[in-house]
Structure 1
Amino acid sequence: MPGDPRGFAPVGPAAHRRGPETVLSDGTVTVEHWFTVPIDHALTLDQARAQEEAGAGVGPGGRATLQVFAREVRAADDRHGTRPWLLYLQGGPGSGAPRPGRMGGWQAALAEGHRLLLLDQRGTGRSTPATAATLAGHATDRARAEHLVHLRAPSIVQDAEMIRLALGSGPWTTLGQSFGGFCTLSYLSWHPEGLARCLVTGGLAPLTGHADRVYRATYTRMAARVAQVWRRHPEDREAWAEALALVRSAEEVGDPVRLPDGTALTVGRAQQLGMLLGGNTRVDRFHWAVAEAVDRTGPAPRICETFTAEVAAQTGRWTNPLYAVLHEAIYAQPAALAGGRADTGWSAARMLAEHPEFDPEAVAAPLPTGEHVMPWSFRTEPELQPLVGVAALLAKRTAWGPLYDVERLAVNEVPVAAAVYTDDVYVDRDLSLETASRVAGLQVWETDAFHHDGLADDGPGIVRRLLGMLDGDG
């Protein structure tokens, strides 16, 4: 569109190739779809293809386009796909959409009135991947970083609108979970004409301000969540401290505890078990991991294999390194929208100064962390080591485009219903409500019955509640 503040070209339909159709064991129908879009949406698809023909694209080998994969899912009683489309925007960043098995949960509830499109956002899943291996096709860290800049919410939304046009769909319904909600706010900003109504679960990002606001708030939420767990399981506090002491002492003598892949277990990596505290359905896994962390059956206490396996499960980024590389970048805005500072500057690490109870350099038994990505991860975790230079460049970058159009959101006309989880440790409740107050037509259902993974806990109940709000029944 002319004058687009993102510098994007006018939107047109993606090139579309329909893949095979499959019928699952319960009669659910899935159809594969492949779409070709520009890497840089400053170009139209025709312009990107012309660059490719000249070998002058921004990607490896002169590529200027990439593939975006999406899977259509139809209920058994919508065999031929006559129901209207609903686009699912996955959380992340860096995660592909769920792979359907038997129809159930929130998918079944929404498939009663829709056919679903589960989008593998650019760089994820079966879309053209962005991993350490594929990014190595770029000659320099700077080129890799510039490629990743094109994987944020505004570009994902441009893909989605090109896909909608390619499918011949009218304005569609969307469901955005977590980062998918951030994408929804971008969609409402830049292409409201493509939206009939939007559902958001745990995904109202701050529209303005620096990433520091996010990490300052989420450290506070995480401290409260840990205190709640300690109250429920008082013995876990002592077990946690004992486990970290064993990990630390092993590090100090140069014989660290090893994870299943052979890499060293550090206190910082153990802290990432706190990711389990973000959900109703996972918090008990944290309790059992801590309760069983130390084996005392031998001549001396030792860290148990069940603990190291759980840490490995929470910290491994082999399939989605984008989660770590882009985590702070998804909040990066131009200086005018970010309160004067445009670089993220390793925000989560800097905010430790305000929250020393999480700092392994400040206290013997630091609290578990949540969605807090640290620069040391890129030096110590093998799947992230090839991206250490890229991550450093993104942390210093100041040339960010806008994520949202605040003025357009203030006069939004698309109906939106959002679930805000009171005690969410990933997407802060207060910042979410601030955003809700700045988006016209957005209705909020705040609940303390769920944490960030509410869709996994009671997806049908949550989506029916949000649909009811838009239908005037909520």
Structure 2
Amino acid sequence: IRPLLTGGAPWTVLGQSYGGFCATHYLCAAPEGLATVLITGGLPSLDATADEVYRAGYPRIARKVEAHYTRYPQDIARARAIVAYVAEHRPVLPTGYTLTPEAFQSLGILLGSGDGSHQLHYLLENAFVRTPSGPALSDAFQESVASALSFAGHPLYALLHEAIYAQGAGPTDWAAERVRGEFARFDAALTLAGEAPLYFTGESIHPWHFDSDPALRPLREAADLLAARADWPALYDPARLAANEVPVAAAVYHDDMYVDTAQSLRTARSIRGLRTWVTDEYEHDGVRASGPRVLDRLLALARGDA
């Protein structure tokens, strides 16, 4: 693609989130094609397994949930009431999506964006309507949840998400699902049996996604095959990164819910010449939410002007 667009000249790439993973691999595989690399919220660990990624991830998600409940304490009772209703009724949303407690908890993915806490709050605020048979989930709530949870527009995201952490360490074996069992606070059944707040989850894919979401059901066999695959190659070349000569600038968002900050900073120290901007002004979507600020800062860093 690059020779067709540039006539063979190196180009500048911008990698947001998983795009940063791709850009880091690009630095290893074909640095001669790169003039500059800009990365936002997407410096991957060079050697962490999928288990290690999620083991670091669930505590970050818990902090985001606790911060949300501090901002909106009324949502504690609302979330518990909704998950209790969902556990009893297992409603099928207008899209054919089967809403389970685990699926409802996955709305926590919103908490990784700048306005996500507000979005989640407004979603929970008017979840129920009164009916002759008692409270029921409103049509507006069901439509909003169906839109937020459906992978109809991006099924490959769900199919390949866990595989981006598979690098020479054997099968991922549904790592997010297995590691979740180590953190009892995310168990909705245990939550309902007691009085603790419901903990939402974040960016993780589980086997139940391929049962609940009609867009993913045809891909269940493929997802199981990917989870069982054992011959994943190494994704990154530490030696080439240590000898890097391409200007690289990276924005690392402090306590990013999607990408572990500590792992990102270790990688930043491993890439020769990389300039890092660590900020708590933005969440994972900073490059979109900030207008030109994040991109302008990265360009200035890459040029040596900042």
Is it true that 1:471 corresponds to 2:299 in the alignment?
no
- For 1:391, which of 198, 213, 223 is the aligned residue? 223
Distance (Å, rounded) in 1 between the aligned partners of 2:117 and 2:228 = 35
What is the Cα deviation at residue 298 of structure 1?
5.7
Residue identity over aligned pairs, in percent, reads: 46
Amino acid in structure 1 at the alignment position of 2:284: H
Q: Which has the larger radius of gyration?
A: 1
Instruction: State the distance in 2 between where 1:368 and 1:386 align.
Output: 27
Paired residue secondary structure (2:179): helix
> 87, 101, 105: which one pairs with 1:248?
87
The count of residues paired between Structure 1 and Structure 2 equals 301
CA displacement at 1:446 relative to structure 2: 0.6
Output the TM-score relative to the length of structure 2. Answer: 0.94
- Pick which of 372-381 and 415-424 moved more: 372-381
The alpha-carbon deviation at position 284 of structure 1 amounts to: 1.3
**Corresponding residue for 2:180?**
352
| Distance in 2 (alpha carbons) for counterparts of 1:363 and 1:421 | 31
1:464 deviation in Å? 0.5
Q: Does 1:260 align with 2:88?
A: no
Match of 1:183 in 2: 22
Structure with greater contact order relative to length (CA < 8 Å, sep ≥ 6): 2
- What's the CA shift string for 1:394-447, capped at 9, x where partnerless? 101111122111111111111111001112111111111111111111111011
Q: How far did 1:205 drift?
A: 0.8
Give the C-alpha shift of residue 270 in structure 1: 1.0
Q: Kindly indicate whether the alpha-carbon contact (under 8 Å) linking 1:265 and 1:308 is maintained by their aligned counterparts in 2.
A: no
**SS of alignment partner, residue 445 of structure 1:** strand
Provide the residue aligned with 1:449 in structure 2: 281
- Asked whether 1:414 is paired with 2:246, we answer yes
Residues 102-150 of structure 1 deviation map (CA, whole Å, 9 limit, x = unaligned):
xxxxxxxxxxxxxxxxxxxxxxxxxxxxxxxxxxxxxxxxxxxxxxxxx
Which residue, 184, 198, 204 being the options, matches 1:372? Answer: 204
Deviations for 1:68-97, whole angstroms, at most 9, x for unmatched residues? Answer: xxxxxxxxxxxxxxxxxxxxxxxxxxxxxx
Task: Give the unaligned 5+ runs of structure 2.
Answer: none
Q: Which amino acid aligns with 2:171?
A: D
Bigger fraction of residues in strand: 1
Deviations along 1:281-340, one digit per CA (max 9) or x if unpaired, are 3331111001222224766222222222222112111121111110110111113xxxxx
Rounded to whole Å, the distance in 2 between the matches of 1:310 and 1:437 is 42
What is the letter of the counterpart of residue 175 of structure 1?
L
State how far apart, in whole Å, the 1-side matches of 2:259 and 2:123 are. 24
Confirm or deny: 8 A CA contact 2:16 2:42 kept in the other structure.
yes
Q: Counterpart of 1:403 in structure 2: which amino acid?
A: L
SS at match of 2:134: coil
When the two chains are superposed, the root-mean-square deviation of aligned CA atoms in Å is 1.5
Query: Could you tell me whether the CA contact under 8 Å between 1:273 and 1:369 is conserved in 2?
Result: yes
State the match for 1:203 in structure 2.
Answer: 42
User: In the alignment, which residue of structure 2 is the partner of 1:271?
Assistant: 105
Q: What SS does the aligned partner of 1:373 have?
A: coil
Change in 2 beyond 3 A, CA 1:453/1:375: same
* Structure 1 contact 289–306 (Cα < 8 Å) conserved: no
Q: Which residue number corresponds to residue 229 of structure 1?
A: 68
Q: 2-side partners of 1:357 and 1:310: how far apart? A: 26
